[in-house]
Chain A
Amino acid sequence: MEKKEKDFYERLEQKGVTRRDFMKYCTFMTATLGLNASFVSKVADVFAAPKERPPVIWLNFAECTGCAEGFLRSTYPWIDEIVLELINLEYQETIMAAAGHQAEESLKAAVKKHKGKFICITEGAIGTKYDGAYGKIGGRTFLDVANSVIPHAAATIALGSCASFGGIQAAKPNPGGFKGVGEALNVKTINIPGCPPNPVNLVGTIVNYLLLGKLPQLDAAGRPLFAYGRTIHDQCTRRGHFEAGEFVMEFGSKDAEKGWCLYTLGCRGPMTYNNCPTAKFNDGTSWPVQAGHPCIGCSEPNFWDAMSPFYEAM
């Protein structure tokens, strides 16, 4: 075993994570990614000791930072491992120590140094009206910042529904002319929508890249098929009740307690592609339908308009 790898397992053990737990996670990740079992050990290698941490530049535009917060909730691997040992997070405004000019310099230097090699993760939508003058960083418009970084990236991940499709600020009447990053810049992005998305799907995409040297297969909306290949409805634990015609008619009712289907209260699971029922959120704790609330379709393009009013059945 390489020294780095040995250190890695020692560290894991110190934290009370056995090698077995870790392999279990790698199996879960391998399955999430839709790879066959022979990849489990390679996935483990990726987490244990990437040869060189791949550079990542994270840009925040018009957003609520919920996507970055979601990323901070990653548990396997933990966020400190991702930042210290898995990737080389060159620029991330929410956590970085530097500010002002020093922060701007970091961004410029990182783009120059890793030209053509870094992954750009974008969070938030870009205003396109009035030459993109709706939001600024260091006096430059979002559009300007995006244009100075994204064309030099090896790949750009649009994290969250805002970056993917425009998100909430693009809802009618879209006062700022907001668009998803791909559309605003006319570039191809890997979209990981959700409001916010499950960090598992971002980590999965990065692992896929480290492992196979390429990005995962995408659907027509630019979403990785491993996560967005099936509807919520198809994977939902309440599906049996749907088939049996057992519907909840009021929140908090006996039928709600029994876990009947939420279709009648507005559930958008049948038209929403995502893996929430299987991946679940926050280390597998739950997901909205499990908490008794209908799916609002947050990973679909334009869901704020297309899926609302949320409490009316489709």
Chain B
Amino acid sequence: MGKRIVIDPITRIEGHLRIEVEVADGKVVNAWSSGQLFRGIEMILQGRDPRDAHHFVQRSCGVCTYVHALSSVRAVEDAVGVKIPENARLIRNLMHGAQYQHDHIVHFYHLHALDWVDIVSALKADPAATSKLTDNVSNSPWGGSNYYRNVQARLSTFVESGQLGPFQNAYWGHSAYKLPPEANLMAAAHYLEALRLQAKAARMHAVFGGKNPHPQSLVVGGVTSVADLSPERLAEFMYIWKETQEFIKNVYVPDLLAVASFYKDWGGIGGTTNFLSWGDFPQTDKEPDSHFLPRGFIKKRDLAKPLDADQQKVTEHVARGWYEKGDPKHPFEGETKPAHGEYQPDDGKYTWFKAPRYDGASCEVGPLARVLVAYSKGHKEVKATVDSVAKQLDIPVTALFSTLGRTAARGIETLVIGQQMEGWMNELIANVSKGDKKVYQRWEMPDEAMGYGLNDVPRGALGHWIKIKDKKIENYQYVVPSTWNLGPRCAEGTLGPVEEALIGTPVADPKQPLEVLRTVHSFDPCIACGIHVIDPHTNEVYKIRAT
């Protein structure tokens, strides 16, 4: 048997995650993903006013803010049978698009980059050479040797102060870091610039939503921000969008390609098998047909035959999670009965995640799934961007089934969605200038109803299912991206996507499992919403120390 390594806490994610791997001959041969937090939001929702649900579920996650609220109002709208006005649809698309722009930039620079970029090595870079490199690979508005000298001085003052804060005790100097010092300095500079850019990009939410995180302008039936449909506000939104787009085009995507070109071997590591996307961004009220990003299911990597995806085929398994025994259930029938147990990765239960399956299959969701589904359906913009990225990196499209592909797909869709937002802004402006400012449709709460809302949000396929009785919430279940990606084995023993992806990952130094972090982070885990209920009795977690 190989050596066991536990990484807990996994940092630079949302929530509390523990990853355990078994390593033999320098490679991961087995993996277990386990989450640890009880919040119980589904139970808290029971008996409440369905109109309030979106405020509650939005607090599932502050990183993927907005998206749960959006799924929730869609679920209630489906249940009560209200069609929202066109302007409400456009504002929602714009805010959801803004969330993608913001979220993916933060993920690349602040949650993922340090797996590839060695900040300490940046101190050794030559500023003039860095400037030249930047000019070669990008259209970055920041550059010149003075600029890089200043960034370097700032970093070294920081390092010399001995107060290293968030950068201390990391895996700096690890042999798996491949960038030359100049590329590290460029990325470090952009890490800092991106910190500011994200704060600016978040203002898109504030324009139509009052604030970010947790905007507050969604209601069942539409949106509330009618007074923000003024020329100044629309211009303000456009201005922020443009600044963000420029960053994505001129800095983010070029950085992604530059870094990726040093890590092409990761195009053969970290792949999974099946991919599911609910699709999103309705362009008329016909769903899912009008979705800008299509709905679909790819089985066994067969890009030639994308299949339709139907929410009825979703089930949740509890065989290896700490729940009472039960058959796999569709979310409408879903129940959450915690049953405590010990942490038994080998043959027992080991996580609070349930294992969602689509038509029985374990599926990866998220940027890669969306991009692959769109690509296989011949989506014009996605296809063009994928082909150009593959060409620039000189890799086949099949190299996308990997950690590298997952990270690249995130950049690809950020670009494509960002560009599409311009059209939605123009539609909105056209409506407003015609005098159409309708953003809300009146509706009435039935005594009994049921409905669902399916979205594809930055981290992947998201579904909310609601049952209403006596005008109150009778049952509420949601199946979220990180449950799909980080869920455990099912009864048949098929691994969850992250577990599957980890197998084969090289580990040069078991004390510093940097490579494991790369694959885990490439999924952009976000845990708090993934587990809705955890049982308290289980305190018996044993821990194998890395040796």
Residues of chain A touching chain B, judged by Cβ–Cβ distance below 8 Å, are 11, 14, 53, 55, 60, 62-70, 72-75, 78-80, 83-85, 88-90, 92-106, 127, 129-131, 133-139, 141, 167-169, 171-176, 195-196, 250-253, 256-259, 281-283, 285-293, 296, 304, 308-312
Q: Please state if B217 and A291 are interface contacts (CB–CB under 8 Å).
A: yes
Q: List 19 A-B contacts (CB under 8 A).
A: A11-B150, A63-B528, A64-B63, A65-B63, A66-B63, A74-B199, A88-B163, A88-B165, A98-B168, A98-B170, A99-B9, A169-B38, A169-B39, A169-B41, A195-B59, A196-B214, A257-B226, A282-B206, A308-B48
Contacts known (A64-B60, A66-B65, A283-B199); A250 close to B227, Cβ less than 8 A: no
B437 within 8 Å of A by Cβ? yes
B27 within 8 Å of A by Cβ? no
Residue pairs across A and B with CB atoms within 8 Å: the count is 308
Contacts known (A69-B65, A89-B166); A136 close to B40, Cβ less than 8 A: no
Size bracket of the B interface: 35 or more
Chain B residue at minimum C-beta to C-beta distance from A292: B224
Q: Please state if B439 and A252 are interface contacts (CB–CB under 8 Å).
A: yes
Q: Please state if B161 and A96 are interface contacts (CB–CB under 8 Å).
A: no
Chain B residue numbers with a CB within 8 Å of A281 are 206, 210-212
Q: Please state if A285 and B226 are interface contacts (CB–CB under 8 Å).
A: no
B202 within 8 Å of A by Cβ? yes
Contacts known (A73-B199, A257-B226, A308-B49); A99 close to B12, Cβ less than 8 A: yes
Which of A94, A133, A174 sits near B11, CB closer than 8 Å? A94
Once bound together, how far apart are the Cα atoms of A196 and B206, in whole Å? 13
Q: Please state if B437 and A257 are interface contacts (CB–CB under 8 Å).
A: yes
Q: Please state if B199 and A291 are interface contacts (CB–CB under 8 Å).
A: no
Chain B residue numbers with a CB within 8 Å of A285 are 203, 206-207, 211, 236
Q: Please state if B226 and A292 are interface contacts (CB–CB under 8 Å).
A: yes
Which of A138, A139, A296 sits near B55, CB closer than 8 Å? A296
Which of A73, A130, A174 sits near B536, CB closer than 8 Å? A130
What's the nearest-Cβ distance from chain A to residue B436, in Å? 12
Query: Across chains A and B, which 3 residue pairs bring their CB atoms closest together, nearest first?
Result: A66-B62, A252-B440, A291-B210
Q: Please state if A251 and B213 are interface contacts (CB–CB under 8 Å).
A: no
Q: Please state if B196 and A65 are interface contacts (CB–CB under 8 Å).
A: no
Q: Please state if B167 and A68 are interface contacts (CB–CB under 8 Å).
A: no
Chain B residue numbers with a CB within 8 Å of A257 are 226-227, 437
Q: Please state if A135 and B119 are interface contacts (CB–CB under 8 Å).
A: no
What's the nearest-Cβ distance from chain B to residue A54, in Å? 10
Once bound together, how far apart are the Cα atoms of A250 and B528, in whole Å? 34
Q: Please state if A137 and B437 are interface contacts (CB–CB under 8 Å).
A: no
Which of B43, B154, B212, B538 sits near A73, CB closer than 8 Å? B212
Which of B9, B56, B150, B208 sits near A100, CB closer than 8 Å? B9
Most chain B CB atoms below 10 A, which of A53, A63, A68, A251: A251
B354 within 8 Å of A by Cβ? no
Chain A residue numbers with a CB within 8 Å of B114 are 97
Contacts known (A129-B536, A136-B16); A172 close to B44, Cβ less than 8 A: yes
Once bound together, how far apart are the Cα atoms of A95 and B168, in whole Å? 11
What is the 8 Å Cβ interface bit string for chain B, positions 169-204, against chain A (1 contact, 0 not)? 111100000000000000000001001101110110
What's the nearest-Cβ distance from chain A to residue B141, in Å? 12
- List 13 extra interface pairs beyond A92-B166, A257-B437, CB under 8 A: A73-B199, A73-B213, A78-B195, A79-B196, A84-B154, A88-B163, A139-B541, A173-B43, A176-B38, A251-B226, A252-B226, A283-B199, A292-B225
Which of B166, B227, B537, B545 sits near A259, CB closer than 8 Å? B227
Chain B residue at minimum C-beta to C-beta distance from A136: B36
Chain A residue at minimum C-beta to C-beta distance from B170: A97
Most chain B CB atoms below 10 A, which of A67, A80, A138, A252: A252
Q: Please state if A64 and B59 are interface contacts (CB–CB under 8 Å).
A: yes
Once bound together, how far apart are the Cα atoms of A296 and B225, in whole Å? 16
Q: Please state if A304 and B226 are interface contacts (CB–CB under 8 Å).
A: no
Q: Please state if A286 and B211 are interface contacts (CB–CB under 8 Å).
A: yes
Once bound together, how far apart are the Cα atoms of A259 and B230, in whole Å? 13
Q: Please state if A252 and B44 are interface contacts (CB–CB under 8 Å).
A: no
B6 within 8 Å of A by Cβ? yes
Chain B residue numbers with a CB within 8 Å of A289 are 210
Contacts known (A99-B10, A105-B169); A79 close to B199, Cβ less than 8 A: yes
Chain A residue numbers with a CB within 8 Å of B213 are 66, 69-70, 73, 196
Q: Which of B423-461 contact A (CB under 8 A)?
A: 437-440, 442
Contacts known (A99-B12, A133-B538, A135-B37); A292 close to B192, Cβ less than 8 A: no
Once bound together, how far apart are the Cα atoms of A240 and B29, in whole Å? 68
Contacts known (A65-B61, A259-B227, A283-B199); A293 close to B216, Cβ less than 8 A: yes
Chain A residue numbers with a CB within 8 Å of B219 are 251, 293, 311
Q: Please state if A171 and B166 are interface contacts (CB–CB under 8 Å).
A: no
Chain A residue at minimum C-beta to C-beta distance from B41: A168
Chain A residue at minimum C-beta to C-beta distance from B526: A65
B384 within 8 Å of A by Cβ? no
Q: Please state if B166 and A83 are interface contacts (CB–CB under 8 Å).
A: yes
What is the 8 Å Cβ interface bit string for chain B, positions 217-231, against chain A (1 contact, 0 not)? 101011111111000
Contacts known (A103-B9, A175-B44, A311-B51); A256 close to B226, Cβ less than 8 A: yes
